[in-house]
Structure 1
């Protein structure tokens, strides 16, 4: 919500008026000198939007404010051109509305267009988040990273490396939305104060690593590559089993962590709906973007959301630090998922992250069943992974 500064206003006053932590208001207005606000300057207030309201007979600002549990000055601030003592019936005014429900809708098919819309709405409603483009997919779709928080501990989460595991994207976006609502409404999640975590942690999220693949599974092939992907899919137009990017390369087999072993033993020797590791490591733009992001940002820990199995993998070749075991024990406790240290697998993003940085990394297999998992599992998956999400921040 945008407001205009009046004489004598301060960010601290806005914090008290709207009951929003001052730090979130400061972070939403990073180009503003908080010690020298200018009359007429536009300030962003996170966690609020505005509704239009038509004045009725016998309405007053006091009555309108009381009905909405608002201060009168909150309404005056949005309607500075009006004389509150001379309200005209039929006149439309703006009324602030606190956001208390999620913008990210549960139970919906979640392709890249829905993700991009949600990112835009969240950035508008919560301007203290930062949205960066870290690269592009094969077909030129942006790969977005969402960042928030002020802490020195850097935690990274990602989803939808695999196309038919697209349910991980709305899960991770719903976790983010819950976090944002908690921050702006001062409402703990499972007893944890989110503002404390915000001040201790910088959170990075890439909610859809493989947008081309997700769109292929959900919407079918785009005309530009229709013939190629149908050929890769052995003539079938059923793409529910497709895990790869649009080039037929499995993005989670693309990393230089004994990639040669996977190349040798994987059955596909050419582009395929799943398991083909490419002609060399890091050939695909999506995989390159994720490796560059991790190398540039120096994350302290990383969680990759996949499906399915209700288990997670946390080791690689004995290179994981002792902290990984501590985190794995807590993740297992709060989720009921089975912690598995090692499996006979290489070339994944988690494997490379541990090998490259010697820091904790986890591959989380959400839910149970056959991919793509049905949306009927969404709430159950969310509740179990919420504990892992919180533990990844506070531990």
Structure 2
């Protein structure tokens, strides 16, 4: 089928929309290249891919095959009604229909402001007990939203997507919100925990995408008509490759923006101006994204905060001795649940976690999700989700125990 490329489209986004894989999309459009951005107005051919083929293995059973691919037995039988499946012989070719996941949040492709806005609206319709608020705007005017789940006295904050090339933390946090809301709505457990009961003890305020402008730049590349095109090219040393960009659209590292020994961080970084990373800005809270997060934190007075970053599979829990006595104990619990390593960090200032601990003397954590080179590959999403989900459940439980 034909498809006209829209602004913001990428190969992965188109593949996700039509439930095809990128290899099939590239094969159907020989002129495309996976490493090059798509231009709006380009006419693509999208291959139909509503099913694939599975060769029966020795020991297979129909119910096991259905479970392996997330299908009901009826759906598998319907797709192979032309075959006699009373005897399932090794080597038999079965048609496996592509299942509808039934999920709202889909982490199979780039995830930015467009996906976040649509998913937040859909989650609100599905789970009306959620609350969505706009807490500020980015340099380019994109809304920074917060999502509330639960109504308990213990208040937890989790933020994600602060560094542009760490945008995968945004769908991870949104996926957790969907899973937790669903479990609470249906009276189910998540990671063995009764979420309905837990969310009567805890209020979670999540800010899934702190840096929407930077995430867009990393995911979609630099358009010629971008209002900051010339500056961004200069700050990126003339390169039009922005996959490694961490900063906001003004070349400021948002996690070096908070008033926690900012001057020492500035001296340590020794950055001569805006760039892809490590420039803390002209002064603390010079950037609207950091201001929005700081003001929201001051307004809500959270009992515990978690900042999701990538990568390293580590949990940073201290700050210059200002952390409360429970901080390390909670960090070790989060580590047990995720398989990550709790680390007592030195030589780092001006981060959100640093400021939260310094300002409020409450437990604050930077979680470095996954392992590898940023941006982490989207293929790692299921594994990362398995690591993050129990960690966040444990963080909610820890906060509940603090206010009992």
Match of 1:194 in 2: 195
Distance 1:174 1:102 in 2: 9
Query: Helix, strand or coil for the counterpart of 2:192?
Result: coil
Match of 2:205 in 1: 204
* Kept after mapping to 1: 8 A contact 2:149/2:177: no
Q: Do residues 229 (structure 1) and 237 (structure 2) align?
A: no
Query: What are the superposed Cα offsets for residues 288-320 of structure 1, whole Å, 9 maximum, x if unpaired?
Result: 011101111000000000000000100000100
Match of 1:267 in 2: 270
Query: What are the superposed Cα offsets for residues 274-299 of structure 1, whole Å, 9 maximum, x if unpaired?
Result: 00001111100000011101111000
Distance 1:228 1:318 in 2: 40
* Kept after mapping to 2: 8 A contact 1:100/1:185: no
Q: Provide TM-score, normalisation by structure 2.
A: 0.72
How far off is 1:100 after superposition?
Answer: 8.8
Distance 1:318 1:332 in 2: 20
Query: What are the superposed Cα offsets for residues 42-97 of structure 1, whole Å, 9 maximum, x if unpaired?
Result: xxxxxxxxxxxxxxxxxxxxxxxxxxxxxxxxxxxxxxxxxxxxxxxxxxxxxxxx
Q: Provide TM-score, normalisation by structure 1.
A: 0.74
Match of 1:290 in 2: 293
How far off is 1:378 after superposition?
Answer: 0.8
Distance 1:380 1:318 in 2: 33
Distance 2:153 2:311 in 1: 32
* Kept after mapping to 1: 8 A contact 2:369/2:384: yes
Distance 2:322 2:199 in 1: 30
Match of 1:95 in 2: none
Q: Could you say what the CA RMSD is over the residues aligned between the two structures, in angstroms?
A: 1.3
Q: Alignment length, in residue pairs?
A: 297
Distance 1:331 1:148 in 2: 20
Match of 1:111 in 2: 112
Match of 1:161 in 2: 162
How far off is 1:101 after superposition?
Answer: 3.5
How far off is 1:228 after superposition?
Answer: 1.6
* Unpaired runs of at least 5, structure 1: 1-98
How far off is 1:370 after superposition?
Answer: 0.5
Match of 1:333 in 2: 336
Match of 2:35 in 1: none
Distance 1:317 1:194 in 2: 34
Distance 1:265 1:187 in 2: 48
How far off is 1:187 after superposition?
Answer: 1.6
How far off is 1:341 after superposition?
Answer: 1.8
Give every structure 1 segment of 4 or more consecutive aligned residues whose post-TM-superposition deviation is greater than 4 Å: none
Distance 2:112 2:188 in 1: 30
Match of 2:42 in 1: none
Q: Do residues 351 (structure 1) and 359 (structure 2) align?
A: no
* Kept after mapping to 2: 8 A contact 1:310/1:366: yes
Distance 2:208 2:303 in 1: 18
* Unpaired runs of at least 5, structure 2: 1-99, 399-404
Query: Helix, strand or coil for the counterpart of 2:145?
Result: strand
Query: Helix, strand or coil for the counterpart of 1:214?
Result: helix
Distance 2:248 2:363 in 1: 26
